[in-house]
């Protein structure tokens, strides 16, 4: 059954299908498993981070720190693998613990100090980026046989596309994300928080633990995205992934999630990521279009979706007004 709250998700899905159809119309060779596989591989780290961002935005917050956390994770892994003989798996555990705790700390500040998430995570952004710089200002290559093993893992589709591990990790993250958002109490509490913090509190929803949990997830997933990014680039560089938070926010919004919180779907973000990846792929295929069109088109999409959501909100309010006969007090 189609419900009005599904509309943004459907629009996203339709946009993706339309965009892909246009791409294939222009370049029939884009209809191949190779393109799809690359789409997943190239956007793996962004997708994973965007899952965390979806939770944050669903709760009505924002997390500006994820790009820095990804860079920090990469540098941390590179340095620790270079300077010590720790096994990468242990390093992964370590860095995930750090980034999750980092996110949780930001969540705690946001909840207990009642400060806007924007400014708290801005501090987190500087702190994580600074920590990455302090570890190393140069790009540190990662050469570990375990990395080679992980990078060598792929499933080759009949027509030649290589579905690599990191793409799989992203898809898995999305599946878990969907499950957590829609089928757990925590997920329901995230929506409740986004629907109205005061009301959620009156309904007995645990605001404090939810807020801390949301930013912990975002931090932890940024850490996972960092691991994936280090697998993708085989290096840790403190200047990498600058502005990834913006891409993640854009993907979430294009995925149909309301930036003011409360409405949206994790699955939508997946298609948001794919749409953005598709734009880039198209520009590569075209060859004559310049890369900056990516930003402009994404900005345009962002605007279109924000206006669409605003329109939907108005429509809902108008319907409620009609239903209650009462005016919006504002």
Partner 1 sequence: MTHNTGPVLHAKGISKFFPGTIALDDVELRLESGEVHALLGENGAGKSTLIKCLTGAYQRDGGTIRLDGQEVAPHSTAESQKLGIGTVYQEVNLLPNLTVAENLYLGRQPMRWGLVARRKMNAMARESLAGYGLDIDPAEPLTTYSVAIQQVVAVARAVEMSGKVLILDEPTASLDRDEVQLLFSVIRQLRERGLAVVFITHFLDQVFEISDRATILRNGRVVGTRVLADVTQKDVVTLMLGRQLEAQVHERKAAAAGGTLIEVEGLGKRGMLEPISLALREGEVVGLAGLLGSGRTETANLIFGAVQADQGRILLRGKEISVSNPREAVSHRFALCPEDRKTEGIVGDLSVRDNIILARQAAQGWMRPIPRAEVNEIAERYVKALDIRLASLDMPIRLLSGGNQQKALLARWLATNPDFLILDEPTRGIDVGAHAEIVALIEQLRADGMALLVASSELEELVAYSTRVVVLRDRRAVRELSGDLITPQNIVHAITEDDALPGEVA
Partner 2 sequence: MPGPKHSVLKRIMPQLLILAAALALNVLVFPDFFDIDFRNGRLFGSLIDVLNRGAPVAILCIGMTLVIATRGIDLSVGAVMAIAGATSAAVVTDGHGWGTALLAGLCAGALCGLWNGVLVAVLKIQPIVATLVLMVAGRGVAQLITEGKILTFSNEGLIHLGAGTIAGVPTPILIWMALGALVILVVRRTALGMLIESIGINERSSRLAGINSRVLLVCVYLVSGLCAALAGVIVAADIKGADANNAGLWLELDAILAVVIGGNSLLGGRFSILASLLGALIIQSVNSVILLSGMPPEFNLVIKALLILAILVIQSPRITYLMYMLRASGPQPQPDTDPLSNSPKEEAR
The residues binding partner 2 (CB under 8 A) are: 60, 62, 109, 112-116, 118-120, 122-127, 129-131, 133-134, 137, 196-199, 202, 238, 246, 249-250, 259-261, 290-300, 302-303, 306-307, 310, 330
In the complex, the smallest distance separating the C-beta of residue 211 from partner 1, rounded to whole angstroms, is 16
**Which partner from the list partner 2, partner 1, none does 85 bind, CB cut-off 5 to 8 Å by kind?**
none
CB 158 within 8 A of CB 175: no
The phi, psi pair for 287, rounded to 5°, reads 85, -30
Which partner from the list partner 1, partner 2, none does 119 bind, CB cut-off 5 to 8 Å by kind? partner 2
Q: Which is nearer to partner 1, 4 or 143 (CB)?
A: 4
Shortest distance (Å) from residue 271 CB to partner 2:
18
Residue 179 interacting partner from partner 2, partner 1, none (CB closer than 5 to 8 Å by kind):
partner 1
- Residue of 262, 278, 280, 281 whose CA lies nearest to 270: 278
Residues 261-290 that bind partner 1 (CB under 8 A): 262-263
Nearest distance from C-beta of residue 57 to partner 2, angstroms = 10
Cα dihedral across residues 300, 305, 306, 311: positive or negative: positive
Residue 34 Cβ, how far from partner 2 at the closest point, in Å?
Answer: 27
Site string for partner 1, 192-211 (x = CB under 8 A): x-xxx--xxxxxxx------
Q: Output DSSP code: residue 154.
A: E
- Taking CA atoms, 194 is separated from 23, 181, 210, 249, 274, in Å, by 36, 12, 11, 16, 25
CA angle (42, 44, 46) in 5-degree steps: 100
Site string for partner 1, 223-262 (x = CB under 8 A): ---------------------------------------x
Q: Is residue 25 within a helix (H) or strand (E), and if so which, with residue range? A: helix 7-26
Per-residue exposure over 248-283, b if at least 16 CB sit within 10 Å of its own CB, e if not? bbbbbbbbbbbbebbbbbbbbbbbbbbbbbbbbbbb
Query: Is 56 one of the binding residues for partner 1 (CB under 8 A)?
Result: no
Q: Which is nearer to partner 1, 84 or 199 (CB)?
A: 199
Site mask, partner 1, residues 145-184, x = CB under 8 A? ----------------------------------x--xxx
- With CB under 5 to 8 Å by kind, the binding choice for 208 among partner 2, partner 1, none is none
**Is 59 one of the binding residues for partner 1 (CB under 8 A)?**
no
| Cα–Cα distance, 116 to 118 (Å, whole number) | 5
Query: Which sign does the torsion angle of CA 156, 159, 160, 165 carry?
Result: negative
Cα–Cα distances in angstroms (integers) from residue 242 to residues 12, 216, 226, 272, in the given order: 26, 21, 12, 20
User: Does an H or E element contain 177, and which?
Assistant: helix 165-183
Q: Of 137 and 317, which has the nearer Cβ to partner 1? A: 317
Interface map 305-324 toward partner 1 (x if CB under 8 A): -----------x--xx--xx
Q: CB within 8 A of 62, min separation 6: which ones?
A: 56, 117, 118, 121, 249
Calpha distance 71→229 (Å, rounded): 9
Nearer to partner 1, 295 or 321 (CB): 321
Question: Taking the complex as a whole, how short is the minimal distance between the CB of residue 33 and partner 2, in angstroms?
Answer: 30
4 binds, options partner 1, partner 2, none, Cβ within 5 to 8 A by partner type: partner 1
Interacting residues toward partner 1 by CB under 8 A? 1, 3-5, 179, 182-185, 187-189, 191-192, 194-196, 199-205, 262-263, 316, 319-320, 323-327
């Amino acid at each position: 059954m189609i419900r009005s709250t599904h509309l943004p998700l459907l629009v996203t899905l339709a946009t993706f299908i339309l965009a892909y159809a246009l791409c294939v119309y222009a370049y029939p060779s884009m209809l191949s498993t190779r393109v799809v596989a690359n789409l997943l591989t190239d956007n793996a780290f962004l997708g994973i981070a965007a899952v965390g961002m979806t939770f944050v935005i669903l709760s009505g917050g924002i997390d500006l720190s994820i790009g820095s956390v990804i860079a920090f994770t990469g540098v941390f892994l590179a340095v620790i693998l270079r300077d010590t003989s720790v096994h990468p798996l242990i390093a992964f555990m370590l860095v995930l613990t750090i980034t999750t705790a980092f996110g949780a700390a930001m969540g705690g500040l946001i909840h207990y100090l009642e400060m806007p998430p924007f400014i708290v995570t801005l501090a987190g952004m500087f702190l994580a980026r600074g920590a990455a710089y302090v570890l190393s200002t140069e790009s540190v290559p990662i050469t570990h046989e375990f990395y080679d093993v992980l990078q060598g893992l792929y499933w080759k589709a009949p027509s030649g596309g290589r579905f690599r591990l990191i793409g799989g990790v992203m898809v898995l993250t999305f599946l878990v994300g969907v499950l957590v958002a829609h089928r757990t109490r925590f997920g329901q509490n995230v929506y409740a928080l986004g629907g109205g913090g005061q009301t959620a509190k009156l309904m007995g929803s645990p605001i404090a633990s939810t807020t801390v949990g949301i930013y912990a997830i975002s931090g932890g997933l940024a850490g996972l995205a960092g691991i994936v990014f280090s697998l993708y680039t085989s290096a840790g560089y403190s200047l990498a992934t600058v502005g990834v938070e913006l891409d993640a926010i854009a993907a979430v919004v294009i995925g149909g999630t309301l930036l003011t919180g409360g409405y949206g779907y994790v699955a939508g973000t997946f298609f948001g990521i794919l749409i953005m990846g598709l734009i880039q792929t198209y520009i590569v295929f075209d060859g004559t279009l310049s890369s900056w069109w990516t930003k402009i088109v994404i900005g345009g999409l962002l605007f279109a979706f924000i206006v669409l959501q605003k329109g939907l909100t108005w429509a809902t309010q108008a319907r409620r007004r009609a239903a209650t006969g009462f005016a919006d007090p504002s």
